[in-house]
Each structure stands twice: as structure tokens, then as C-alpha cells.
Structure 1
Amino acid sequence: MVVVAETTCRRKLGIFQSPYYVILFVSSAVGAAIGYNKVLGTPTLWMWAVSAQEFASIVYFCAYPWLPETPVYLLKMGKVEEALSTLRKLRVGGEETLELTILQKELEDRSQTGQLSFLKMMREKRLRLQFLVAVYAMNTQQFAGIQAILMYSDQILYLAGVKYQQVSFATIGLYLQVLLAFGLFIPLHRRLGSKKVLIIGLLITDCGYLVFVISHALHEQSPWTSYIALAAMLVVTLGLQLGPQLCMTSLPSELTTSDSRPTVAFYSGCVFWTLASFTSFVFPYSVEAWQALAYVPFAILSILITVISIFLIPETNNRTAAEIQASFLEKSQQCMSPVF
């Protein structure tokens, strides 16, 4: 999140932050395919499937010496000429001088507050609100149940009535939907911005959850509703991929500045994996007790975070960092909650 945000220009953050999550889901589809019991999903071949991830680590290790330092980091170190040179390598169109000026202005504002640690951000209303909103924005996908879908989609689709032989293929289809989501994301993001794309994705997720829960409740009386359940889960996953997933780092990157972004990224990651661990350990018991209705809490949370996102997250589309921070200041002065 931090490296990409400090390497790309602000107005293109969504475009450059999102491909990572496309790769993530495509990789999950590949993993589901090679883990199939007729491919490498057997006790004797499983070690080859697990060791395949080493290839990506080796490629990164070999490429690391040639990765440039980010322009923001170089400016923090006082290396203005080197930062300008790096921007010229990374940009086309002759806007590197203007962008360097914008980055310098952000860092001048930073020098008035010093390094923004967690405690410093908690002491000031505007920064505290920025921190909480950015952490919340980065974790909307966890509140909406992405971890449960990624880890238990096979089991939950089977319980919803999908035939056992079709479950693995349905899961691969869930993951590969990210290609469709990415195709929709690019034009929508250019026109509407990260916040509106996030809300559109959440609305799609809300509708999918509603249909999924109803179709599961009816599938024992009407077996054909299992196909509706499968279609509904495809809709849920598409909504999560389009909104919360592809906006996971682009929106927090836009909401923060170069001084607050590392702190926000660190604590957002802590919250993300805490929620993921909680879901991973608790959800199997929920499924055992409620079967596919275990997704009902996520459906309720999805509706709640949709409403919260509309009112809480500032608009970022075609707005400068200064305008976004001014919006946080205004919201922090209006907010009546003692939390803020």
C-alpha cells in the first residue's frame, strides 16, 4: 500500500493499487485448480502445490536490487534531484515537476507536526478521524465476510444445495470473477472515484446476500433454488471484489498523506489479520450450527457498513490531499460521538 502510493500519482492510485487484488484472486483460482483431487490435491503430490509459491519469492528477491526508492522517501532524505530523476523515470507527459512541488508541499505540512505516530494521531481530532476512517475503509471486506468466502466457499455452496461434483468448479468461478470486476472497476473509478465504487460494490453485496439467504432457506423444499444460491454467491463475491477488495488500499491511500500513511497501513494490517483470524476460527462452528445461514451476520454487517460508508468516508474523487484533510477537519468538528 505505502510503496505503490508513494510511487504513483494521487489521481491514479485506484488504477495502480487494484491489480494486486486481481492477481490475488487469480492465484486463488489457480490454487483451487491445482488442489483438485485429480491434479495435485493428493497426499503424495500436495507438497509440490505448496512449494509452487517459492517461485514468486525468488523472482522478487532477484529483482529487489533494481527497485527504486520512492520519490517521497527520497524527499524525506533531502535528495530532491534524485527524487525528480526518479519521477522522470516513472512518469510520462512532463508532469513530474508539478508533482514534485505537490509532494514537497505535503512534506512541508508534515514538518510542522513531525512523524505521525499512533499516539500523535490519537491526540488530534482531525488525525484521529482520518486514522479511524482509513482503517475502517481498509477492512470493509473483512466485515462483509470475504475471509469466510475465500476459505469456506466449497463447504457453504455444498450446504446450500450445489452438487458435490460442481463445488470446486463453482469456487474457481467465484475467484475468476475478479477479472470481470476489474473490467468494471477501471471505468467506474475514473468517472466516480474510490468512495462511490466502494458503495456500489457494497450495494451489490447486500443484494446478493439477501437472495443467498432466502434461496438457502428454501432449497430443501425446492431443490432448484440451489442454482439461485450459487448465482447469489457469485453476485456477493462480485460485489466484494468490485468494491471493498479493489478499493482496499486505494481509498485509504487517498484518505491519508505521506506522513500518516505508514502508521495507518501498519495498524490497518493488524486489524485486517486479527479479523481474518477471528473469522477463520469462529466460522467453522457457525457453519456447523447454522449451515449456510452462517452468512446472515455478514449480510447484516454488510448493510450496516454500506450506510456508514456513505456518511463517514469523505469524497476523494478529483480532490487534492489538502481538500480531503479539510473535509476530515470539518467532519471532526461536527461529529458528536465521544469516540471521535
Structure 2
Amino acid sequence: MDIKKAQSPMTRMLLMSIGAAVLGSLQIGYHTGNVNAPAKIIQEFFNVTWRSRHNKFLQDDSLTILWSLSVSIKDFGALLGSLGVKGLADTFGRRDSILIANSLSVLGACLMIISKATESFEVLIAGRLVFGLFCGLVMSLNPLYIQEVSPTELRGAFATLNQVSFASGIFLGMVVGLDTVLGTEKYWALMFSLSLIPALLQFLALPFCPESPRYLLINCGKEEQAEAALCRLRRSTYKVQNELMEIKEEACHAQSRVTIGEFFVKHSYKQPIFIVLIVNLGSQLSGFNAIINYSTKMFSRSGFEKPKYLTLGVGAVNVTFTVVAFFLVERAGRRKLLLIGFLSLAICNLLMTITDTLMHTAPALCSLQVLLVFTLISAYEVGPGPISWFIGAELFDQPARPIAMAFTSMLNFGGKFLLALLFPPLLKVCGAYVYLLFMIVALLGLSYTFLRLPETKGRTFDEIAAEFRGTEGIPLHNQSGFNTFT
């Protein structure tokens, strides 16, 4: 066998590029997990600030609304940030766009840090809004950059690292937010500053990483620079030439540009758009986010004395199974993991309904509820969680890929925002039966994945795009040459 062909696809520069990119999702996870434990302390800061201005405390309802706004405005900012993905990615490139977005993270964190010194909760809310803009950009740009610099055989695994970093950030935020660490009246503002460390590391490392070769060749027509970037990423002359040929083939089939209007009306994009829509909404509205946001309240209602430590368990399980997904995604494939994940989510939600209904008559079921929560988290992270974030980049060609990732980000953050807004009133109205709604959504994701999603494992971008170009109303599983169910 040719030694060059047998050379490992993982190089130092490739690992450095991906590691530098996922520092952004680590920051997002951190600011997702760090506000839950010190919530009462920060709300008290809101109250004291209001009293110093108006000589009276906020009413409980007003304080609840103001705190809900403070927490959820990050996801609203992410929705707005998603709108800028295509403009940034196509104008400045994938790598430089991540660096530009990183400046929003620094600005947002600084505003959150100084909010206590300025005695202004408005500054804290503004900081979370600015940080939300960063979230919407980076959770689209990261998978885009990672998939375009990764070799085909490791594309899914490396894209999953974005979710591993995000989940690790959530767990880190949960730990740092404890009242035994920095989640105290004295140090809560300092707690917000820790995200500046990975932000600074990204500013130091990412400029030394290559730009996406696909962007350089297909978007900019710079073949020599694309080849130079590939040489840094692969080091194998054989692999560089082989991949360069594959990118040129994709360039021959791709339009020079695709507008947002064309994206939603072009026939070959309709099937991938529906797949991205169902997979992402199925992922976000199948119960995971309700548990991440409200697990402490759930465990308190079940009678546990120290629910915050069970919530830490949720964070630990979350990280563990994203790592499991990293090792499985290139072996089992995207389709199989999604099917297993959605089916498991549906079963867990059904059992959650039963246990929550019987909890008052059989208190011993509280232990089973904890097990179900952990199982639901693991089911989400093995399949729907990480795959929903990058599947859009695999189903579309180069000109449409930034729009697809912006669409993915809007669906994900829109689903998070919707669930954060509606879960408390739904729980009040429906009680335990709210989990049946999550079960229905999970079954919808399962059904559509089974019927329409092709397996993308081991296939080049051009091979996947070619199948959708050729569908013309024919179901994918009837297409010759495309083994959907492997």
C-alpha cells in the first residue's frame, strides 16, 4: 500500500484549527450554565438597584418577568445574530468571521462584568443581548468551518466536537455558578469574566490556522491559496491533490452565488430544507431544553434536598454522551444515531409522564425519574443534539451552506427561546401530560428521519448535493446509487 495513502488524516494543524474554533462554543456553553445557581443573588441585585432609584422594591411578578427577560434575551440575540452568518461567512471567510464574532463575546462579557460596578441591571441585559449575537453567529460558523477543513472520513466526528465543547462549557458554568465557588453576592460579576480566557486564546490561536480551502477555491477562485491551505491541513501530497480535485468538481456543479430567496424556492433545496427543519425542531422541542432549564425545580418538586447537585449530574451526563457521540458518529452514521435518539426521547417522555403522574401516590418513583432524566439527556446528546447542528452543512452545496447554517441556528435558538417561554405555563396547564407533547415531537422527528434523511457518512459534499439535484420528486430511498439505509 502507498505510504502516503495510509497516512493518518489527523495532523497537528487540523487539530489546532478545530480546537481553536470550538473555543467559541465553550464560551456559549459557559454563559448558558452559569446563571442558574446564582439566580436569586442576581435577582436581589436587580431589586436593590431598583430600590436605589425608585425607593421601593420590585413586585414579585415584575422581578420574575425582568429575570426571564435577562435569561432569554441571549437566545433572542442569537436569533438576530443568525441573520448575519451568510454576509460574514461569504465576505470575510469562515475563519476570519469567527474572529470577528469573538469580539462580540468579549464586548458582551465586559458589559456583564461591569453591570455590578455601574449598579445597572440594564447593562447586564445588554451584555447578554450582545453575547447572544455572538452565539447565533458562532454556532453556525463553527460547524461550517470545521466541516470544510475536515477530511470526509472525520467530518462528522470533528463537527461533533463543537457540541462536546458546548456541553463542557455548560457543565463548567454550572460548577462555577455554585455558591461554594463564584456564585456569591461578592463574586457573581467576576464569574462572568472567565469566558474572556477562551476568547483570548481564540484570538491568539485562530489567526495561525488556515482558511477553509473550499471557501478559497469555490467562493474566491484562489486555487493556489486553497492548495496551500490543504497542504497545511493534510501534509500528504496524495490527499491534497485528491481533495483538490473533489473541490473543483463541486465548484463545477455549484452556482456562483445563492440569494436567500433562491435558497427557499430552488427545487433541489426543498428536501434538505424540510430535513433540517424537522430534525432541528424535533431536537429542540423534544424535552431536552426543558430539563436543562428546569431540572433543579423538577428535582425539588420530587422531594430531593439538594437538587442542585443532581443538576450537576445532568451536566456531567450531558458532557459524557457528547463524547460518546464523537466516537460513534463516523461508525454508526448520522441516520442511525438520529433514529435511536428520537425513539429513545419519545420513550423517555412517555415514561416521564407516567412517573410524574404517579409520583404523589408512589414517592419511591422519584429515583426512577432521575434515571429517566439522565437517559433522556444521553439520548439527546448521542444523536439529535450534535447532529442537528451540522447536518445542514452536509446536505447543501457550497453557495447555500452559509444560509443553511444560519437557518439551522435560527431553528435551534428559536426552539430554545420558544421552550423557555412556553414550558412553565404549559406545565401549569397540562401538568405531567406536557411530556406527551414532547413525545409527539420526537416521534415526528423519528418518522421524517426514517422516511427522508439519507446517510451522509463517508460521502463527499458533491456526492450528497448530486443526489438532491437528481431527486426531482423521486423519494431518496428509490434513487439508484444512493444507499440511504446503510
The AA in structure 1 aligned to 2:155 is L
Supply the AA of the counterpart residue of 1:163.
F
SS in 2 for 1:23: helix
Identity of aligned residues (%): 22
How far 1:313 moved relative to its partner?
Answer: 1.3
What's the RMSD between the two structures over aligned residues? 2.1
Write out per-residue CA displacement over residues 91-132 of structure 1, whole angstroms, 9 at most, x where no aligned residue: 25441110111011111111xx33122211233221222233
Of 168, 171, 182, which residue of structure 2 is paired with 1:40? 182
Number of the residue aligned with 1:79: 222
- The residue type paired with residue 230 of structure 1 is V
Larger RCO of the pair (alpha carbons < 8 Å, separation 6+): 1
**Cα pair 1:184 1:242 within 8 Å, conserved:** yes
Q: Which residue of 1 aligns with 2:410?
A: 270
- Give yes or no for the alignment of 1:163 onto 2:304: yes
Q: Which runs of 5+ in 2 are unaligned?
A: 1-142, 476-486
What is the aligned partner in structure 1 of residue 16 from structure 2?
none
- Find 1:6's aligned residue among 127, 143, 148: 148
Give the alignment partner of residue 449 of structure 2, picking from 309, 313, 319: 309
The reply to whether residue 205 of structure 1 matches residue 345 of structure 2 is: yes
In structure 1, C-alpha distance between the alignment counterparts of 2:252 and 2:228, rounded to whole Å = 20
Give the TM-score normalised by the residue count of structure 2.
0.64
Residue 241 of structure 1 deviates from its aligned partner by 0.6
Match of 2:252 in 1: 108
The superposition leaves residues 136-182 of structure 1 with CA deviations (integer Å, 9 ceiling, x where unpaired) of: 434432122332222112112323x15031x2121111122234324
Cα–Cα, structure 1 residues 292 and 28, in superposed 2: closer, same or farther, change >3 Å? farther
In 2, Cα distance between equivalents of 1:256 and 1:210: 35
**Do 2:334 and 2:456's aligned partners in 1 also have CA atoms closer than 8 Å?**
yes
* Residues 108 and 329 of structure 1: CA distance in aligned 2, closer, same or farther (over 3 Å): closer
Which string of whole-angstrom CA distances, capped at 9 and with x for unpartnered residues, describes residues 13-50 of structure 1? 11111112112112211211222233322222211222
What is aligned with 2:194?
52
Q: Which residue of 1 aligns with 2:26?
A: none
Would you say the 8 A contact 2:278–2:444 is kept in 1? no
Q: CA 1:327/1:73 → structure 2, altered by over 3 Å: closer, same or farther?
A: closer
Residue in 2 aligned with 1:338?
none
The change in CA–CA distance for 1:92 and 1:158 in structure 2 (over 3 A counts) is farther
**Separation (CA, whole Å) in 2 of partners of 1:218 and 1:330:** 52
| Alignment-mate amino acid for residue 366 of structure 2 | S
User: 5+ unaligned residues in a row in structure 1: which ranges?
Assistant: 336-340
Residues 198 and 243 of structure 1 are in contact (CA less than 8 Å); yes or no, is this contact kept in structure 2?
Answer: yes
Q: Please give the per-residue CA displacement for 1:207-244, whole angstroms capped at 9, x wherever unaligned.
A: 22222221111111111100000100101000001111
Which 4+ residue blocks in structure 1 deviate beyond 6 angstroms?
A: none
Q: Distance in 2 between matches of 1:130 and 1:87?
A: 28
Hey, what does 1:97 align to over in structure 2?
Answer: 241
For residues 438 and 165 of structure 2, what CA distance do their matches in structure 1 show?
Answer: 25
Question: Partner of 2:211 in structure 1?
Answer: 69
Larger radius of gyration: 2
Distance 1:164 1:239, change over 3 A: same
